[in-house]
Amino acid sequence: MHKDLLRLARAERGVRLHLACCLAAAVAAGLLVLVQAELLAGVLSGRFAVAALFPLALVVASRGLLGWAQGMLAGRAATALKSALRRLLLGRVEGLGPSYRSGELVTLAGRGLDALDPYLTGYLPSVAVAGIVPLAVVVRLFAADLATAVIVVLTLPLIPVFGALVGWTTKAVTERQWRALARLGGHFLDVVRGLPTLRAFGRARYQASVIRRVAEAHRTATMRTLRVAFLSSLVLELVSSLSLALVAVPVGLRLLSGSLDLHTALLVLLLAPEAYLPLRAMGTRFHAAMEGVAAADEAFAVIKPSQGGREKRPRAVRPAPAAESGPPRIRLEDVVVRYPGREEAALDRVSLVVEPGERVAIVGPSGAGKSTLLHLLLGFTTPAEGRVLADDADLADLDLDEWRRRLAFVPQRPHLFAASVADNIALGSAAGPDEIRAAAEAARVAEFAGTLPRGYDTVLGERGANLSAGQRQRIALARAFCRPAAEVLLLDEPTARLDGRSEAAIVAATRRLAEGRTAIIVAHRPAMIELADRVVRLDGGVLVPPVPARSGEAR
């Protein structure tokens, strides 16, 4: 059983109550089988009068009522537990950073957690029944007929043994199926978001073929999972049928020979299948629940990040070092960064020192690890090995909120919200109207803000849909100007996809913004590289020897 799920169920009072009542109803319904078999065997053998059919009908009705109650309580427990898990999962979104694909998170929080229903409503109750009912049946068989009880005791372990053998394979193929589904959902959402860009560059048809390949991989994984599930059902049915035959044949022969009375024979034949049925049901529901278990594993991996297969021990959070003497000295020591699902390292043994007030340009081909290095300094990504130090303080031990107050970040694709121009500029700061206008002047936003219908109060479209790429980039720079306390400037290719006029405006604004600050600039264009005192090259996640600054070297 999933330990983290059960721990969460015990922590949530509503889930704990509903789940306990559900399991109690399932076990009670299972134990009523003994009463039902006793009454039915007595009536058929003539030991009980026909009047015993009335209590028999009450037992059958009680089992039906308990089954209905079990289903209702299990549904409520599943709904409450999924809500609690989604709440924890979405609470982690803020701290995930851009390294976790939002499409995969959406698939996990939606389709993935919904797959927990078979686990919570089917598998858990069947586990409770399988742990109690077969034992009770065996005890009653020992009292009724020793020979039959011995046969059942010897054959009963075969079902969980064969179920476990097939279950190991089922778990592996189901995890592959879940990974294929998560990859499909994540990639599809990314493609839909970038569809205008793909159409503009004529790459929409290619991405359609990529989605077809990913969907085919998911279909193949699903069919493989179904084949294993059908094989498991076949194995369990075969083992239980053979075990029942080993019980029924001797009972029939002994009944014909007169060594066994009719009441005992009927009782044995009615109870023996009930010893195997809970284990068969548990094995069948195990396969239906595996997708939800794989999704739960992924959800708890997001909620409680682990490294090296072990959960990280909580560390004492230290405040960020005070800025007494200006910008901090930043040092990377043998840093290794690996993203989940990728074998190669995004950064491999990177060591770098950035002195206070220094301007460093990071260059290299696409995918070399430049943006990963910035995400490392922002605290979005945690190194698998090595350390990131700010004034000799490890970022892993710092209060990241305090550390980020000392940073100004201008991403390659800034996100603008459906709010006014002024609100977008003041994002993350307590700047007043005068400070916002001063920042807009410094970033040259004022050049186009005056032409908007309501000036700085004009509400922008989602993601700044009614602005050009250069205008969106200037607003991102204005946000940085609105953070006068920021001592470290992080720029991720701010002039990418801009025309010459917009690029010149961004470069001029960046030169003013970097004065008196440490600046780390990811750049491809020569104009941005010329702002740097030093140029550092990354290639394949590895730091290569530096080249002279102002070399005009681009990608």
For residue 321, what pLDDT is reported?
Answer: 52
Beta strands at 542-547 and 534-539: parallel, antiparallel or unpaired: antiparallel
pLDDT tens string 231-289: 777 777 888 888 888 888 888 888 888 888 888 888 888 888 888 888 888 877 776 77
Q: pLDDT value at position 61?
A: 93
pTM summary value: 0.56
Q: How far apart are CA 16 and CA 480, in angstroms?
A: 48
Query: Would strands 359-363 and 534-539 be described as parallel, antiparallel, or unpaired?
Result: parallel
pLDDT band at 85 (very low <50, low <70, confident <90, very high): confident
Predicted pLDDT of residue 314: 42
CB 36 within 8 A of CB 59: yes
In this prediction, residue 195 carries a pLDDT of 67
Q: What is the reported pLDDT for 508?
A: 80
Q: Report the pLDDT value the prediction gives residue 555, as an integer from 0 to 100.
A: 35
* pLDDT top residue among 309 and 456: 456
What pLDDT, on a 0 to 100 scale, did the predictor assign at position 68?
Answer: 92
CA-wise closest residue to 337 among 318, 327, 350: 350
* Band of residue 197 on the pLDDT scale cut at 50, 70, 90: low
- Average pLDDT score over residue span 537-555: 62
For residue 93, the one-letter residue type is V
Contact 187, 210 (CB under 8 A): yes
Q: Per-residue pLDDT tens for 88-108?
A: 887 776 666 555 556 667 777
The CA distance from 12 to 10, in Å, is 6
Mean pLDDT of the chain: 79
Specify the pLDDT at position 241: 83
Grouping H, G, I as helix, E, B as strand and the rest as coil, residue 482 is coil
CA–CA separation, 239 vs 461, rounded Å? 64
Q: Tell me: pLDDT of 309 over 50.
A: no
**Is 529's pLDDT higher than 60?**
yes
Can you give the pLDDT at residue 65? 94
The predicted model gives 119-142 an average pLDDT of 87
Higher pLDDT, 178 or 481: 481
pLDDT (mean) for 146-153: 88
pLDDT band at 417 (very low <50, low <70, confident <90, very high): confident
The sheet with strand 347-354 has its strands ordered as 347-354, 330-337, 385-390, 393-394
C-alpha to C-alpha distances, 90 to 4, 100, 302, nearest whole angstrom = 17, 13, 10
Q: Can you name the CATH fold of 3-303?
A: ABC transporter transmembrane region fold (1.20.1560)
**Pairwise pLDDT comparison (272 vs 202), residue with the higher score:** 272
Residue spans per domain, the chain = 3-303, 330-547
- Percentage with pLDDT > 90 across the chain: 2
Q: Is the pLDDT of residue 352 over 80?
A: yes
**Residue partners of 70: CB distance under 8 A and separation at least 6:** 22, 25, 26, 29, 125
Q: What is the pLDDT of residue 544?
A: 81
Q: Which is the CATH superfamily of the domain at 330-547?
A: P-loop containing nucleotide triphosphate hydrolases (3.40.50.300)
pLDDT over 60 at 317, yes or no:
no
Mean pLDDT (whole number) for 412-435: 81
Report angle CA 409, 87, 225 to the nearest 5 degrees: 100
Task: Find the mean pLDDT for residues 414-436.
Answer: 81
Q: Does residue 315 register a pLDDT over 50?
A: no
Q: Is the pLDDT of residue 550 over 60?
A: no
